[in-house]
Amino acid sequence: METLKNRILKDGHALNESVLKVDSFLNHGVDAKLMQEIGTTFKEHFENHGITKIFTIESSGIAPTVMTALQMELPMVTLKKQTSKILSGDVYQTTVHSFTKAVDYELTLSKKFISPEDNILIIDDFLAYGEAAQGAIRLVEEAGAKVAGIGIVIEKSFQPGRKNLEDKGYEVYSLARVSKLGKDIIEFVEE
């Protein structure tokens, strides 16, 4: 997606070989018009996959997922990272390791938001090692539902996330695939 790549080059900041900061338009400040275009692109790619619901992980994946759900006219569900007193009892949970933050967290899905008949599209802001996506997949499959595909806004292609997911048979569709990061260096996979 050229618009996204251009925005990453213009406003993204590569802090080092693994951290790409895009907080001015994706996950702190949010460019709604860009999110709308991202939603359109995901809709066009996944519209014939028989999707029944769209899942994301709080919080950075919410904006692109809302726009995708709006355009596909489908329900959206946010998987929770934070434990909550009101989210107790009938939940699916799995532990996910965040390499970015160097912590483990409990990913939680209320059982009332999924059924075995569901065909789920998972959308996330970044794909690096694939831990978050694999956690979401575990919750979906524990409920007896299926994963229709995984939509990623920015993929760090030099890390093993895509390979890990594709090796397990999941379709991964990324809008911007970064091939190299370094201090003030951002390069994309040639496609």
* 3-class state of residue 57 by DSSP: strand
Handedness of CA 52, 58, 61, 66 (dihedral sign): positive
Give me the pLDDT at residue 157, please: 97
Amino acid identity, residue 131?
E
For 14, how many CA atoms within 13 A lie in the half-sphere containing its CB?
19
Beta bridge partners of 186: 181
Amino acid identity, residue 4?
L
Is the pLDDT assigned to residue 103 strictly greater than 90?
no
Residues in the chain: 191
Is the pLDDT assigned to residue 14 strictly greater than 80?
yes
Give me the pLDDT at residue 41, please: 98
Q: Is 164 annotated as a binding residue?
A: no
Instruction: Tell me the C-alpha distance between 185 and 98, whole Å.
Output: 23
Is the pLDDT assigned to residue 101 strictly greater than 90?
no
How confident is residue 190, by pLDDT bands cut at 50, 70 and 90? confident
Give me the pLDDT at residue 109, please: 94
Domains in the chain, start-ordered, CATH in brackets?
Answer: 39-176 (3.40.50.2020)
Q: What is the mean pLDDT of residues 36-43?
A: 98
Strands (E), 60-184: 76-79, 91-98, 103-110, 119-127, 146-156, 172-182
Tokens 């900061």 appear where?
21
Q: Is 102 annotated as a binding residue?
A: no
Q: What is the pLDDT of residues 110-168, one digit of tens each?
A: 999 999 999 999 999 999 999 999 999 999 999 999 999 999 999 999 999 999 999 99
Q: Is 131 annotated as a binding residue?
A: yes
Q: Is 69 annotated as a binding residue?
A: no
Instruction: Tell me the C-alpha distance between 92 and 156, whole Å.
Output: 28
Q: How many CB atoms lie within 10 A of CB 80?
A: 19
Give me the pLDDT at residue 83, please: 66
Closest CA to 78 of 38, 29, 45, 125: 125
Give me the pLDDT at residue 56, please: 97
Helices (H), 74-171: 131-142, 161-167
Give me the pLDDT at residue 85, please: 61
* 3-class state of residue 130 by DSSP: coil
Q: Give the global pTM.
A: 0.94
Is the pLDDT assigned to residue 25 strictly greater than 80?
yes
Q: Is 128 annotated as a binding residue?
A: yes
Q: What is the pLDDT of residues 163-187, one digit of tens each?
A: 999 999 999 999 999 999 999 899 9
Q: What is the pLDDT of residues 41-96, one digit of tens each?
A: 999 999 999 999 999 998 889 999 999 999 999 999 999 987 666 666 789 999 89
